[in-house]
Structure formats: structure tokens, C-alpha cells
Structure 1
Amino acid sequence: MPALNETIDTVREILGYPTYDISCQLVDEDYIKEINSDTLGMEKSTDVLSFCFTEYLIEQGVLKEVPSQGKMIGEMYCLGDMSVCVDYVANRCEEDRKSGIAIGK
């Protein structure tokens, strides 16, 4: 999945946190509905759900400095979890293709 890895690297660079991890899972429509219902109380499908894992969040997109303890502690350097619904995204891309909206480069 080189394209997905490249996209995640780009997102980390844009955010200004290139050394932080982002957990990304590709899920189906039933699973994204379950997550959306359990966490947000919304009984519907969506394209992406994301959840911040760090206690170092000051505000959206801004983290305070992680304390240095001589070595990196993995979980302190994880921005969070992102679930992408492949079914939902594929359906929207197909709808865009049919309507003539350009997708990609």
C-alpha cells in the first residue's frame, strides 16, 4: 500500500508531526456504522472516523511538547486512530465518476 503510506506521510508533514504515528484501518460499511453508533450515537455510515489518542492535545491540530525521557515511548507518539470505510468511499467515487466529477490527478 505505498500510496496509502505516502498519503499518511503527507498528512503528518502537513500537520507538522512527521515523527508521529497514525493508525489507519480500512473497514466495511457494517463496521463503520457500528463504530459511528457506539462512539457518536449516529446510526449511519460515513467515509472516515478519527479519534485522537494523545493526552497532549491542546486544541485541534496543536499538541504540547511530549516530555523527553531519553527514548521515545511509542504510544506518546501516536496521533490517533482513523477508520476509512472502503465501501462508502468506493460508492461516492462511483457516483462522482457517473456525474462527471474528476477523481484523482
Structure 2
Amino acid sequence: MNVASEDLTLVWSSEQDAQDISPAFIAKLEELLELAGELEGVAVGEVALTFVDDETIQELNKQYRGLDKPTDVLSFAMSEFGEDELQIQYEDGADDEAAEDGKADSEAFIEPLGDIIISVPRAIAQAEEYGHSVDRELGFLFVHGFLHLIGYDHQTEDEEKAMFEKQEAILQKAGLTR
């Protein structure tokens, strides 16, 4: 169980063997999360990050997007609840509406922002293609995924420009330059 905190929390796992994920790199991702949160006014929440291989991300891409091919990053935002979706049940039995009214035990639950899935083999290939480090590419994909979790998209040229400018500013601030 997670205990609520006053900041953004990164929970991560690695289900791939293309690259070691070091504690120093996780610290860099936590820094990126804090910087992105500050820029966007998101101070509290949990982001679940999973590093996977191409086969796993291809399966997820096919299942959730209908695209039978690998991709570099997928994001699954928790804030896009539909009418037919289940409400979250808190430890004290309160549901989402009670939580919004302040009746749920705030120490029992960190609001999940969503899940980010990154294909490490794709990130490695893209880093080589773009001529920068794998850490920078993984950081870019992580920030990209986070911005999707909080509502950004890049369906139009203007949306893409705005999103990519934000990503670049966050990466620069964290020292992950090209």
C-alpha cells in the first residue's frame, strides 16, 4: 500500500533486459517528474512507469490502440474515467465522491495519474538515430508520457509544437541535452 505524500511519486519496474536501469537514472526520472509537475501545476500524484521490450509494447499497442506494431511509449491516464468505469474504493470504504467531499482517509491513498510504458529497445534505436544518449531518449519519452497523462496531445501541429516545447524545456532544465 502507498501512503499519501505531498509530492509526485514515481513507481517503476523493468520487464526488459536491453539495458540496466540504474538508481542514478531513476533519480533523474524523479527530477524530471518534479520539474514537469512544477511547470504544469501538478504537485501530488503517482506515476507508474514500466520499461518493457518491443514484443510487450507491441501487444499493448495492438490491444489498446489497434496497431499491431511496436511503439516507443504508451500512456494510460487514470483521469479519463468514463460513465461505465468502476469507481476507486478507498481503504475506509469511501468511493470517489466521498473522497472529493473530503470523507476518505487521505493518508491511505495517493491519487494515481496513470501508467507510462516505454520500450527500451525502441529508445536505444531512437537515441542512436537522433545522435543523443539513451538516458536523454528515455527521459524524453518519460516526459512525453507524463504530459499525455495530464491531458496534452499532439493531434494538430499547434498541439505538437506546444507539447514538444514543454518537453524540451523540462529536459534542458534537468541537463538532458542533445
The two structures share one fold, judged by TM-score above 0.5 = yes
Please identify which structure carries the higher strand content: 1
Q: How does 1:21-36 map to 2 (within 5 A)?
A: 21-36=46-61
User: Number of aligned pairs?
Assistant: 92
Alignment of 1:83 onto 2:117: yes
Could you say which structure has the greater relative contact order, defined with CA pairs below 8 angstroms and 6 or more residues apart?
A: 1
Which consecutive residues of structure 2, in runs of 5 or more, have no partner in the other structure?
A: 1-25, 83-98, 138-175
Q: Pairwise CA RMSD of aligned residues?
A: 2.4
Larger proportion of helix: 2
CA distance 1:20–1:42, change in 2 (3 Å): same
> How far did residue 45 of structure 1 move?
1.2
Query: Residue in 1 aligned with 2:109?
Result: 74
Normalising by structure 1, we get a TM-score of 0.73
Equivalence for 2:38? 13
Call closer, same or farther: CA 1:42–1:56 in 2, change over 3 Å.
Answer: closer
Identity %, equivalent residues: 26
